[in-house]
């Protein structure tokens, strides 16, 4: 298989230094990378740094090596173009087809997938001109990753921070894996739940489960790579925020219910990949429960938690698709068919779980049952590959 050829564009923002780590991630995973900084980017990180890390020549000018026609040749030969950071100026030029340097010229000639990771001050990101430019680029099939929130230049904080390089790389890797397919979830609002809820018993103890959240996070990452607007309801997960995703953190099943119902209003797809606790203690002890001195048993009365997927199924709006999950230890498919009907879901993803199965693992194998009677087997694969296969089934059902 030929070595993937990646163009890494770097625009003139303070976050340019983070692109050095992104470059490392590409080269160390076997990609050939050509870095195209703008003249402004070179004020932050010099050409020798990019050349040393990439092993490729570096220039911002279309006047170097003119006999090779680089502004055309580089874009024509690329398998992927990633720009990180993409400034407001770069987004405007890309949206309007301006090409006054090697990077913007390459963006015009490239026929491969393009991923832009914006970074700028909040006011610039929220300006109507920037928002219009982003929408224009997305309509054309460019994957524009939503920026993160956090510390910006100086003392400012807000939306506009460049996502972490590892998460940009994760999105870029998924886009590259899909080849020249256009993003098929552009304009779609997606809600994904992930992780396991915890029900407090007393100030130091809780009821929980083994869910790591990895499968739900894989659904969020792969949806971003396909162009979706993603909200992730995350329960007790120790994973980095996926790039381009709005993350809402919750603890209990009731908190997840409230957050999911709010986010689901107007969503095109809701993927219930989390493992909400089915039960909670009937009463919460305000102080730590002490061990009986005589060693006698302690009784814990449990009550049922609300079934979030069932509630969503009963109140689905319009053409919204509901994807439920069934984690089973026996008779998985039989039990899942019953759940599919009772929850009024469109699809249900079922797998057999256990101490050494699925939870916390990097791979998964599932069966996807449809309300239309379909059944699709997805064999053991990395969780992001499993998520992409399920998204294929979902995308085919969207109207």
Q: What is the pLDDT of residues 116-136, one digit of tens each?
A: 999 999 999 999 999 999 999
Nearest to 58 by CA among 66, 67, 49, 69: 49
Q: Any idea what the Cα angle at residue 24 is, between residues 19 and 25, rounded to 5°?
A: 95
**Does the residue 160 lie in any domain?**
yes
Compute the mean pLDDT over every residue in the chain, rounded to the nearest whole number.
93
User: Is 249 in the same domain as 128?
Assistant: no
**Does the residue 161 lie in any domain?**
yes
Query: Of the residues 209, 236, 351, 364, which is catalytic?
Result: 209
User: Is 108 in the same domain as 212?
Assistant: no
Torsion of CA 196, 329, 361, 204, to 10 degrees: 30
Nearest to 256 by CA among 196, 178, 335: 196
CATH number, domain of 235, equals 3.40.50.10300
**Does the residue 77 lie in any domain?**
yes
The model's pLDDT over 168-181, given as tens digits with 9 standing for 90+, comes to 999 999 999 999 89
Known catalytic membership, residue 209: yes
Residue 356: what pLDDT?
Answer: 58
* pTM for this model (two decimals): 0.91
Parent domain of 99: 5-177
**Does the residue 278 lie in any domain?**
yes
Nearest to 394 by CA among 210, 174, 228: 228
Position 355 confidence tier, pLDDT thresholds 50, 70, 90: low
Residue 1: what pLDDT?
Answer: 62
User: Is 230 in the same domain as 318?
Assistant: yes
Lowest pLDDT segment from 40-44, 66-70, 93-97, 344-348 = 66-70
User: Is 127 in the same domain as 219?
Assistant: no
Q: Which of 123, 155, 177 is the last residue of a domain?
A: 177
Residue 332: what pLDDT?
Answer: 86
pLDDT at residue 190 is higher than 70: yes
Average pLDDT rounded to a whole number, residues 276-284? 95
User: Is 140 in the same domain as 277?
Assistant: no
User: Is 147 in the same domain as 267?
Assistant: no
Lowest pLDDT segment from 53-57, 240-244, 266-270, 350-354 = 350-354
């Amino acid at each position: 298989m030929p070595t993937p050829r990646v163009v890494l564009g770097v625009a003139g923002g303070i976050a340019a230094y983070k692109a050095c780590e992104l470059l490392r991630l590409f080269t160390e995973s076997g990609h050939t990378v050509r870095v195209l900084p703008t003249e402004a980017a070179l004020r932050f990180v010099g050409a020798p740094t990019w050349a040393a890390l990439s092993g490729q020549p570096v220039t911002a000018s279309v006047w170097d090596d003119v006999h090779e026609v680089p502004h055309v040749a580089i874009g024509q030969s690329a398998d992927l173009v990633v720009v990180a950071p993409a400034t407001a100026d770069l987004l405007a030029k890309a949206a309007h087809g301006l090409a006054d340097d090697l990077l913007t010229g390459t963006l015009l000639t490239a026929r491969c997938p393009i991923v832009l990771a914006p970074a700028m001050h909040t006011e610039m990101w929220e300006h109507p001109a920037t928002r219009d430019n982003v929408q224009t680029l997305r309509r054309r099939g460019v994957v524009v990753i939503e920026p993160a929130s956090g510390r910006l230049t100086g003392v400012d904080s807000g939306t506009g921070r460049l996502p972490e390089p590892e998460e940009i790389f994760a999105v870029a890797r998924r886009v590259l894996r899909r080849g020249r397919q256009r993003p098929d979830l552009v304009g779609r609002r997606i809600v994904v739940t992930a992780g396991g809820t915890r029900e407090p018993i007393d100030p130091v103890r809780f009821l929980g489960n083994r869910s790591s959240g990895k499968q739900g996070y894989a659904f969020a990452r792969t949806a971003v790579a396909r162009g979706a607007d993603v909200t992730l309801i995350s329960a007790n997960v120790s994973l980095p925020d996926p790039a381009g995703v709005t993350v809402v953190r919750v603890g209990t099943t009731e908190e997840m219910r409230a957050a999911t119902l709010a986010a689901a209003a107007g969503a095109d797809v809701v993927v219930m990949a989390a493992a909400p606790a089915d039960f909670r203690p009937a009463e919460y002890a305000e102080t730590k429960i002490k061990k009986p001195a005589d060693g006698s048993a302690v009784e814990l009365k449990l009550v049922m938690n609300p079934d979030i997927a069932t509630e969503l199924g009963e109140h689905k709006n319009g053409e919204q698709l509901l994807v439920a999950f069934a984690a089973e230890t026996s008779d998985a498919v039989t039990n899942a068919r019953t759940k599919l009907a009772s929850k009024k879901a469109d699809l249900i993803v079922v797998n057999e779980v256990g101490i050494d199965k699925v939870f916390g693992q990097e791979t998964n194998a599932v069966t996807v049952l449809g309300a239309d009677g379909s059944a699709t087997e997805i064999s053991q694969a990395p969780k992001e590959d499993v998520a992409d296969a399920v998204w294929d089934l979902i995308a085919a059902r969207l109207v």
